[in-house]
Amino acid sequence: MVTYAGYVLLAGTLTFWSIVWPDGRRNRRLVVLAVAGTAAMIIGTVAGPAIQLIFGGKLLGDIVTPLGGAAQLIRLAALVAAVFFLPDIINGSVVGWRRAFALTLVVVIAGTMVAQSNAIGGHWEITKIAATGLHVLATCAWLGGLVALAAVLIPGDKIQELDQLIPRFSRVAQLSVATLVVTGTIHALAVAGGPSKLVSSRYGLVLLIKVSIFGLMLLMGNHGRKYAIRAAFRQLHQPPDAPARSGGIPALAVAMGAELSIAFVILSTTALLVMVAPHP
Amino acid sequence: MGRLTVVHHPRAAGLRRALGALAVAALCVSAVTFYRDAPELPRSAPAGAGGPPSLTSLAPTAQAPSASQSPSTSPTATRTITATRAKLPKGPGTTQPGILLMASPLPDGSFDVAEIVLLSTPTSALRVGPPRLADAGDRFSRAKPVASQVQVSAGDQPVLVPGGRVKQHLDLALNTPAERIELRYHLSGITVRSVPSRAGRALTAISPLVDGVPKGFPVAMVVSGSTVLNIECPILRRVQDQACSSGRPPNLRVRPKLPWSGAVIVVQFDLPRPQ
């Protein structure tokens, strides 16, 4: 759970910088998000096996598979790279080699999460790996971008590129949501072993809950997007001495806060899905 | 990390980048090493299985054509054998031609053994024989090993083992040619008390039942169980090589891949006290 949350924060912020707002590297809150995500992922990656070794009484060979252990080490390498090279990434606009480096980190971290997922092994392995990989990348682009956008918009700072940010993020979000729906369906069918097995299993029930929450989040997201567009327009075009209007940013904060809370529930449901997924 | 390491301070920035690159490279090398050596990591015995994992999901008494004895008179009767595929180590018998032999001691001093054989070319007949004690040392000169409840699968087909016992060399005919063969059996009559030694200490000699393979056919051997202490390879010439176990209890492996002609090990373990 900590690892998933850290992934959303770090990979989401890197993706947000690379695709939506390259000049956002100067935004201190986004830097804090990236650092917090890195720390959370490091803790999640190290603490999981450590707790099982120390308190679970298990041996190392019981806790990690060869691929899983190697994936965790590669993830740590990517996180260390994020720690040591983040100042270089944000030293200039995140374009060119900075964008390539940031997106490479995102892809590598996503790959390590796929390597530890239930996509490995069993039937339709290639399909599951591809679907899971795209699903994980779309998650960081959408959820992570949402968190980053909230960190930028809610405090109400005047931002020059605000009227470009939201349409750009909307496009990313639409593509991500479409990817999530398609890859999520493929992955669920492949893991369960078919539609009939999906609907009759505990995995299918938890997935249904996740899909319902996802639908709710899409509804919230639509309202939030409308609030954000109105709030951005007012910020850019409101005279400096005009009285503050009710609604606007506070309402946006409520909408985005609700959306983020639902996102947290989705992450928790995803963690639960991993536990109840049928073994290959 | 903050301002000191920002690129405006070239030396600090250079040091930061160098340290970062070093750390990343070290972790990547660790990942490759871990992936390669992880099968050697110690593992606990599977819960409730009480024996080595099987390549197939067949239950022990499901093989009616093999005419094997009922397990009701042996300590194996009350154990539950897992029906799911367990992860097997890569190497001889699984991913390359050879034999993977996995053994676990039972409470009465006998052993539950699985042999997984992968041949280079399919065969229509399998030769089996009793364990080779001559190479295990004089202490086993009076032992009378018996492999009972022998079950054999060639591919997915069960193979008839007359009487379910192997006391002498046998040629078993396979219904269809197969290159993957699995044997499961109960090995008894092979344990001797270790004298002089502490009370309860015992020794067993184990070698593959599979016969008729080239002398250099590689054999990987694993002995699992919390009471297993050590493994000796009496065939190896150098004294320092004869202590040939690697890993930690409850999962010990024979460190070198032994050739079939020298695949005899002596297992040191503790017998449980009578209840």
Assign A167 a pLDDT band (cuts: 50, 70, 90): confident
Environment class of residue B182 by beta-carbon count within 10 Å: exposed (0-12), middle (13-18) or buried (19+)? buried
In angstroms, the Cα distances linking A8 to A52, A82, A267 are 24, 14, 9
Mean pLDDT of the A144-157 span? 78
CB pairs under 8 A between A and B: 79
Environment class of residue A92 by beta-carbon count within 10 Å: exposed (0-12), middle (13-18) or buried (19+)? middle
Question: Which of A64, A78, A84 has the CB atom closest to B16's CB atom?
Answer: A84
CA neighbor of B158 nearest in space, from B56, B81, B76: B56
Same-domain check for residues A145 and A21: no
Q: Provide residues of A within 8 Å CB-CB of chain B.
A: 58-62, 64-67, 69-71, 73-74, 76-78, 80-81, 83-85, 87-88, 91, 279
Q: For A24-62, give the secondary structure using H, E and C.
A: HHHCHHHHHHHHHHHHHHHHHHHHHHHHHHHCCCCCHHH
**Cα B68–Cα B69–Cα B71 angle in degrees, nearest 5:** 120
Higher pLDDT, A232 or B244: B244
Residues in chain A, overall count: 280
**Contact residues, chain B, for A85 at CB < 8 Å:** 17, 20
Indicate whether B177 pLDDT > 60.
yes
- pLDDT attached to residue A108: 96
The least confident of A54-58, A210-214, B175-179, B269-273 is A54-58
- pLDDT attached to residue B15: 92
Assign A16 a pLDDT band (cuts: 50, 70, 90): very high
What distance in Å separates the CA atoms of residue B10 and residue A51, rounded to the nearest whole number?
40
CA neighbor of B205 nearest in space, from B142, B266, B129, B127: B266
Chain A contact for B15 (CB, 8 A cutoff): no
Question: Which of A58, A59, A80 has the CB atom closest to B24's CB atom?
Answer: A80
CA distance A91 to chain B (A): 7
- The residue out of A67, A91, A116 marking a domain boundary is A116
Name the amino acid, one letter, at B50: G
pLDDT digits (tens, 9 = 90+) for B59-91: 333 333 333 333 333 333 333 333 334 578 888
Query: Quick check: A87 and B5 CB within 8 A?
Result: yes
Domain that holds residue A187: 124-280
Chain B residue with CA closest to A79: the answer is B24
Same-domain check for residues A175 and A268: yes
Chain A residue with CA closest to B40: the answer is A61
pLDDT digits (tens, 9 = 90+) for A83-134: 999 999 988 888 899 999 999 999 999 999 998 887 776 667 788 889 999 9
- The residue out of A84, A99, A116 marking a domain boundary is A116
Same-domain check for residues A10 and A43: yes
Mean pLDDT of the A12-36 span? 90
- The residue out of A116, A137, A164 marking a domain boundary is A116
Question: Is residue B103 within 8 Å of residue B112, measured between CB atoms?
Answer: yes
Which one of A73, A90, A109 makes the best mutation probe of the B interface by having the most chain B beta carbons within 10 Å? A73
Same-domain check for residues A222 and A141: yes
Detail the DSSP E strand segments found in chain A.
none
Question: Which of B17, B35, B84 has the CB atom closest to A67's CB atom?
Answer: B35
What angle do helix axes A2-15 and A28-54 make, rounded to 10 degrees?
150
- Give the percent of chain B with pLDDT over 70: 77
- pLDDT attached to residue B56: 38
CA distance B84 to chain A (A): 10
Mean pLDDT of the A184-210 span? 74
What distance in Å separates the CA atoms of residue B189 and residue B179, rounded to the nearest whole number?
30
Same-domain check for residues A70 and A164: no
Counting the structural domains of chain A, the total is 2
Same-domain check for residues A158 and A278: yes
Q: SS3 of A64, please?
A: coil
- pLDDT attached to residue A193: 66
Element containing residue A219 per DSSP (H, E): helix A202-237
Indicate whether A248 pLDDT > 60.
no
- pLDDT attached to residue B29: 94
Chain A contact for B80 (CB, 8 A cutoff): no
CATH number for B46-270 (one of 1.10.10, 2.60.40, 2.60.120, 1.10.760): it is 2.60.40
Indicate whether A221 pLDDT > 70.
no
User: Could you state, in order of their start, the residue ranges of all structural domains in chain B?
Assistant: 3-34, 46-270
Same-domain check for residues A19 and A43: yes
CA neighbor of A68 nearest in space, from B92, B87, B44, B93: B87
Indicate whether A57 pLDDT > 80.
no
Same-domain check for residues A160 and A251: yes
Same-domain check for residues A112 and A128: no
- pLDDT attached to residue B79: 38
Same-domain check for residues A84 and A137: no
- pLDDT attached to residue B1: 44
Six token digits for residue B181 = 């063969």
Indicate whether A42 pLDDT > 90.
yes
**Contact residues, chain B, for A120 at CB < 8 Å:** none
Same-domain check for residues A106 and A129: no
Assign A209 a pLDDT band (cuts: 50, 70, 90): confident
The per-residue pLDDT of chain B, averaged, comes to 77
Same-domain check for residues A88 and A142: no
